[in-house]
Chain A
Amino acid sequence: MSELIHVAVKYRALLLNGARVTLIVSLLTILFGLFFGVLMAFLKMSKVKALRALANIYVEFIRGTPVLVQIFLVYYGLPLMGVEIPSIVVAGFDISRILSGTLALVINTTAYVCEIVRGGIESIDYGQTEGALALGMSPARAMMAIVFPQAMKNILPSLGNEFITIIKTSSQISVIGIADLMYTADTIRGISFKPMEPLIIVALIYFLMTFVISFMLRQAEKRMRKGYAR
């Protein structure tokens, strides 16, 4: 125990930095994954067959391949395609260093969020859409004001799980040299010659992050449930 505290205190700067990188990567992934995931869900429910097919292929491919492979594909693929990542400094943090890893995670998350959102929307009885249309609402309003709020109730718990998965999965971007928490554990092991302590500390920090997220989501769910019972 005292060894743990000793290591944690001694390498706190490294650990804090790693935690910061993991948090930034995860938050960006959640944000953009959510945005593109919802977009992809609407593509998948589109009336246009080609769009549906495109979305289908995307989702199936991403869900059918390991995230580690996706991370390397993006990491080596971007330069091959001639994409050069410019240096973008936000709040003293150079985003370009984490960009390719984050991009891979966003690509991955988009597929899962898409399925969660689509499932949630399709679980709502078509009668709700009909009821809305029959009152003269536009299809867009019927979706956004009537169907989507109800679907959120089904979507939120799964989305919460997905957020937690993202935080854990983000540890895999350490393989391309991004100095996240997992990478930090490796670094500390290398300089301190202690294999267990840094891992345990890092595990605790990961757990703290996922715990806070699941707590917040439970509160959000409770608040939604109070609104109405089905």
Chain B
Amino acid sequence: MEEKSIISIRKLTKNYGSASVLKGIDLEVQKGEVVAVIGPSGSGKSTMLRCINAMEQLSGGDILLNGESIRQMKKLPRLRQKVGMVFQHFNLFPHMTVLKNVMYAPVTVRGELKPKAEEYAMELLKKVGMYEKRDAYPATLSGGQKQRVAIARALAMKPEVLLFDEPTSALDPEMVGEVLTVMKQLAKTGMTMIVVTHEMGFAREVADKVVFMDEGIVMESGSPQQVFEETENERVKAFLAKML
């Protein structure tokens, strides 16, 4: 049975000047799949993620979204509406309230009517447990709260895929749980997610597929069982030994 990939990365390469950061990445992501990307620092995880929503230009190879090459998508904003992103440092807009953060792009970019966008924003804020804080400014929130708002903000655009770049790495340890909980709920609703993470527990428990990257290539990929328990690869083993 051939499933159609929602995202299909083909021989993706990325250079910064003479430095080759991605050296031919192949990755298929099915609709509703949760893919955890793990690997040592500097292996190109963020770069790959940023290629998917065209925050970086591809040097070689291609990325298909629903079968359509993102190289062909002249209108980047359209691509980015379909592929949302959650950042390590949240990047909430400090001059807007929580509610405005969530509904600003739907209204201005998608052209949704304000009452409708607001209603949906409130619904999302309830889902991530931030409804009570809807009128607060980001500066008054904890890291965990900020990240939950950032997730609601990304969801407000009704993306088909959500990218996460180390969403819990900037958080105090006691706040990691609340964000991971929200992400787990999201995974259950069938959202397609690509999550770069150092949370091995999350990768093992929630991911359908784990991808281990090292020095710009995918060194190992498979089910959590295959990567965490059955791998023969020494680099993967060494990395996991350090992380666990």
Contacts and interface: CB of A to CB of B under 8 A. Distances in A.
Interface of A: 125, 127-128, 130-138, 141, 145-146, 149-150, 227-230
Contacts of A136: 77-78, 80-81, 105, 109-110, 157
B91 A228 contact: no
A228 B101 CA distance: 13
A140 to B, nearest CB: 11
A135 B87 contact: no
Interface stretch (B6-14, B62-70, B92-100, B193-201): B92-100
A228 B109 contact: no
B39 interface: no
B227 interface: no
29 contacts: A127-B87, A127-B91, A128-B93, A130-B55, A132-B105, A133-B55, A133-B80, A134-B53, A134-B55, A134-B80, A134-B84, A134-B85, A134-B154, A135-B81, A135-B153, A135-B154, A136-B77, A136-B80, A136-B110, A136-B157, A137-B77, A137-B109, A141-B108, A146-B93, A150-B95, A227-B95, A228-B138, A229-B137, A230-B139
Nearest to B84: A134
Nearest to A128: B91
Interface residues of B, number: 29
Contacts of B95: 149-150, 227-228
Contact of B105 (A125, A127, A137, A149): A137
B184 interface: no
Interface of B: 53, 55, 76-78, 80-81, 84-85, 87, 89-95, 104-105, 108-110, 137-140, 153-154, 157
A131 B55 contact: no
Contacts of A130: 55, 87, 91
Given A134-B85, A141-B108, A229 B139 contact: yes
A228 B153 contact: no
A136 B158 CA distance: 12
Contact of B109 (A125, A135, A229, A230): A135
A133 B109 CA distance: 11
B162 to A, nearest CB: 11
Contacts of B92: 131
Given A135-B80, A136-B81, A146-B93, 15 more contacts: A127-B87, A127-B91, A131-B91, A132-B93, A132-B105, A134-B80, A135-B153, A135-B157, A136-B77, A136-B109, A137-B105, A137-B109, A141-B108, A227-B137, A228-B139
A222 to B, nearest CB: 16
Contacts of A228: 94-95, 137-139
